């Protein structure tokens, strides 16, 4: 509900400032924008008067090619030299990445942050010779063909891939609904829904040897869950992962449902828990875990 006692002129000045935080505008454009989005009446002279008011209050407004824009955020962000070192690290890291929309969004964010620097932060950035944060290990980015996969994800059509197994040279075909591309230790990984197995799978891009897009639209993902039981102290201290839920718990156990993790990777993670974890459902995952255990035993036989 609007507050009753307020000044119209004051509100007009504030609305004008709000508009300028959205995009650079000429006085005419500001006029049109304000009249279409507010109930107030504006004149061009008023807009110019308001711009003077901003300047008087040291709000950094610049005019380039007839358009006004807020050069500096009125509510600044104070960063120290560690923050600035992280910003430089992010710039370098993102520069090496090929995932266009991701890259653009991060650069856009960095620009907004830079325009929000406080005076002191600006001074630090200009006077100190700040070096990018040096990670323990330099990230080695591997994301060849990512632009193609970015497009596949946006098209929302199904794809068929040929995937080279990690440990053998065996090539397996999959029909998938591509959902997203993420980076794990610098390697681009495709997250996709496999309709046949009814689960999400991860594919390292550099191991995809062939890909083709089909005209079929993606089907809605309705993955089945993997249920596992944890015993003893693990049951009390387990931290749920993204999209995991506890479906049953007792004094000394919990049963967890997971429907978002690549099953092969999930099984390996659950092996970490020794005999304090048991996969209950589906049988195929239970069987696969025992298969892995048998194969590991065979290595040492």
Partner 1 sequence: MKPDTQRCNCAENNISKTGYRALFLFFKLLEAARTRDEILELFSNDPLLKNDKSKDTVTITVNTLKNAGCIISRPNQRTKNKYVLKSHPFNLQFSVNNIYALQSLRESLITFEDLDLLIYLNNFYFKIAKLAPDEDTKNLLIYKHPLALINFDILNELIIYSKLKKQISICYDSPQNKKENLDFVPEYLTFENDKLYVWGYCKKYNNFAFLRVDKIKRVNCVQIFSNTCETVYKKPEAIVTYKLKGYSALMYTENNNETIMRADTDKGYCLTIKSRVVNKFNFFQKILSYGTDCVIVSPESIRQELLVHLNSIKTGYKNNEK
Q: Which of residues 236-255 bind partner 1 (CB under 8 A)?
A: 236-237, 239, 241
**182 vs 246 by CB, closer to partner 1:** 182
**Could you count the other beta carbons within 10 Å of the beta carbon of residue 75?**
7
Q: Give the torsion through C-alpha atoms of 276, 277, 280, 284, to 10 deg.
A: -130
Q: Is residue 13 part of the contact set for partner 1 (CB under 8 A)?
A: yes
CA distance 267 to 171: 22
The answer to whether the beta carbons of residues 248 and 228 sit under 8 Å apart is no
Are the C-beta atoms of 287 and 258 separated by less than 8 Å?
Answer: no
Contact pick of 25, 94, 153, 159 for partner 1 (by CB under 8 A): 94
| Residue closer to partner 1 (CB basis): 136 or 220 | 136
CB 34 within 8 A of CB 18: no
Pick from 129, 170, 196, 299: which binds partner 1 (CB under 8 A)?
299
36, 65, 75, 251: residue in contact with partner 1 (rule CB under 8 A):
75
Q: Is 234 exposed, middle or buried (0-12, 13-18, 19+ CB in 10 A)?
A: middle
- In 61-109, DSSP assigns E strands to 61-64, 67-70
Q: Which two tokens stand for residue 180?
A: 């997203």
Among 67, 102, 157, 225, interactor with partner 1 by CB under 8 A: 102
Q: Judged by CB under 8 A, which of 65, 129, 135, 222 binds partner 1?
A: 135
Cβ proximity of 17 and 73 under 8 Å = no
Candidate ranges 24-32, 136-144, 191-199, 209-217; the one touching partner 1 (CB under 8 A): 136-144
Stretch that binds partner 1, among 26-34, 123-131, 144-152, 289-297 (CB under 8 A): 289-297
Give the residue with the Cβ less far from partner 1, 214 or 249: 249
Beta strand extents in 232-275 (DSSP E only) = 244-249, 253-258
- Tokens coding 159: 């794809």
| 85 scored as a contact of partner 1 (CB under 8 A) | yes
In the complex with partner 1, which residue's Cβ is closer, 101 or 216?
A: 101
**Alpha-carbon torsion (259, 262, 267, 269), positive or negative:** negative
Give yes or no for residue 154 binding partner 1 (CB under 8 A): no
Residue from the set 187, 191, 194, 213 that interacts with partner 1 by CB under 8 A: 187
Instruction: Considering only residues 218 through 237, tell me which ones interact with partner 1, judged by CB under 8 A.
Output: 232-237
- Binding-site size for partner 1 (CB under 8 A) equals 97
Contacting range for partner 1; rule: CB under 8 A; set: 2-10, 124-132, 152-160, 217-225: 2-10
Site residues for partner 1, window 15-44 (CB under 8 A)?
15, 17-18, 21
Q: Determine, following the binding rule CB under 8 A, whether residue 108 of this chain makes contact with partner 1.
A: yes
Smallest Cα–Cα separation from 279: which of 231, 218, 215?
A: 231
């Amino acid at each position: 509900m609007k507050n009753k006692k307020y000044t119209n002129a004051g509100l007009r000045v504030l609305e004008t400032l709000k508009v300028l935080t959205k995009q650079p505008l000429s006085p005419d454009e500001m006029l049109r924008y304000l009249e279409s989005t507010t109930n107030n009446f504006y004149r061009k002279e008023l807009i110019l008067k308001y711009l003077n008011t901003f300047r008087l209050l040291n709000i950094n407004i610049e005019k380039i090619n007839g358009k006004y824009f807020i050069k500096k955020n009125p509510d600044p962000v104070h960063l120290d030299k560690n923050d600035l070192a992280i910003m430089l690290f992010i710039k370098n890291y993102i520069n090496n990445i090929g995932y266009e929309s991701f890259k653009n969004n991060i650069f856009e964010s960095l620009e907004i942050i830079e325009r929000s620097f406080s005076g002191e932060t600006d001074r630090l950035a200009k006077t100190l010779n700040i070096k990018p944060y040096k990670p323990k290990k330099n990230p080695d980015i591997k994301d060849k063909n990512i632009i193609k996969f970015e497009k596949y994800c946006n098209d929302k059509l199904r794809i068929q891939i040929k995937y080279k197994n990690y440990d053998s040279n065996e090539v397996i075909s999959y029909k998938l609904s591509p959902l997203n591309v993420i980076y794990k230790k610098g390697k681009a990984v495709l997250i996709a829904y496999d309709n046949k197995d009814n689960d999400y799978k991860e594919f390292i891009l550099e191991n995809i040897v062939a890909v083709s897009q089909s005209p079929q639209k993606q089907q809605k993902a309705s993955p089945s869950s993997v249920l596992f039981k944890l015993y003893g102290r693990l049951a009390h201290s387990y931290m749920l992962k993204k999209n995991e839920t506890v479906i049953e718990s007792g004094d000394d156990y919990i049963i967890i449902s997971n429907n978002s993790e690549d099953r092969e990777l999930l099984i390996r993670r659950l092996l970490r828990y020794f005999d304090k974890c048991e996969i209950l459902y589906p049988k195929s995952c239970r069987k696969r875990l025992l298969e892995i255990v048998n194969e590991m035993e065979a290595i040492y036989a």
